[in-house]
Structure 1
């Protein structure tokens, strides 16, 4: 009888230990899964913030050409003349070009009339905006 009680007690201790280990592993896995599900997808970076890494142009392989910037950002308004934007490939750019590239660049960077600062290309460098302006003037 003592042997039977000893075996039963040993079995209960083994089962209890196995259940405790299993629950602990499940809880850790569950916490890890929850942490992965609620982890941030990204973070907001302000220009000049060194903790954010390199600028997007640098991470995409370097400076984008004027044609690339125009195609990606400028054509939304300048392709159709939205809200008085000078249309690409029209005579709308002639009078503006006479003001000089420095004036056009300043207006594009700071915004003018209905155009917001940097148009729709908030991540464009000044050089990329300048290249886009030069490209639109040449169309």
Structure 2
């Protein structure tokens, strides 16, 4: 029995276009993008992804195909962080990927799935959280 796409309201051209897009997303190599202070997206060229590529004074996009990570350095300001979120949304819009997920990361609070995208990530050290506000109770 042969499946007829026309019976489902889908043309062969539309089906092949969809399949090509899906294949491109699956084969997509991870791409690390530095977001400059001027709103420009600059691909980070390197043979392998390591944590050393991430600078605390910048924001980055890590494009993984089905998801895009926004990594925010601890020394960035609010305007840079807002611009990074907007850049991630624009990146997905330009690449016609409305169903991809945007996942936000803050330096030193990266998830296991984010760290697993890198070839080299040093072992986690004990991160000391800020003690501001501890012990202060409002009655």
The structure number with the bigger radius of gyration is: 1
Larger RCO (alpha carbons 8 Å, 6+ apart): 1
Higher strand share: 2
TM-score, shorter chain, exceeding 0.5: no
Q: TM-score, normalised by structure 2?
A: 0.28
Q: TM-score, normalised by structure 1?
A: 0.28
